[in-house]
Amino acid sequence: MNKLKKIAPELSKLKKEQPFGVPDNYFDDFSARLHYRLETEKQALPQPKNSFLRYLKPALGLAASFALIFMLVYWPVRSFLPNYLAKTNTYIETETEENEFLTFIEKLDENSFFAIIQESHSNEETVNGSFDDEELMNYLSSNVSDYEIYLQTEN
């Protein structure tokens, strides 16, 4: 409070007029000047062209983003994990072979099924009945690759 009493005589000596002012006759022709400036700005703006590319840009951007995501995700996975993809593919192939066999069995009627079983038993009796180890190894080496054997033992 004491400070205010000391400063009060100095503040009362200052002039009480506005430091900012409007030029004389500024608002007399204001509307005409405003209209003129708006018209010049409207003419200066480029009019949008209705081109085919304008409508195609969003679709191209979307396609490019999907392609980029594909390249950033699939290619590294394929290059770093080729063994995993090979295992998955062989599993799918064996799964489809099993499904084909099951569908074939499901379509058989009882008489056909028993006829096939009896035929297989009669073929086994004529062949000598058993395999020795050497014949089994020869059969496996000629019909099955090492990689397939490895995959079967891994599962």
Give pTM, 2 decimals: 0.26
| Per-residue DSSP letter, 131 | -
Give me the chain's average pLDDT, please.
Answer: 77
SS3 content of the chain, % helix, strand, coil (to 5): 75, 0, 25
Q: What's the confidence (pLDDT) of residue 36?
A: 93
CA 101 → CA 94, 123, 126, distances in Å? 11, 20, 26
- What pLDDT was estimated at residue 124? 55
Is 97:89 a contact under the CB 8 Å cutoff? no
At 97-124, the pLDDT tens digits run 777 777 777 777 777 777 777 776 666 5
User: Can you read off the two tokens belonging to residue 45?
Assistant: 């703006």
What is the chain's alpha carbon radius of gyration, rounded to the nearest angstrom?
Answer: 46
| Segment 10-55, tens digit of pLDDT | 877 777 778 788 888 888 888 999 999 998 888 876 666 667 777 8
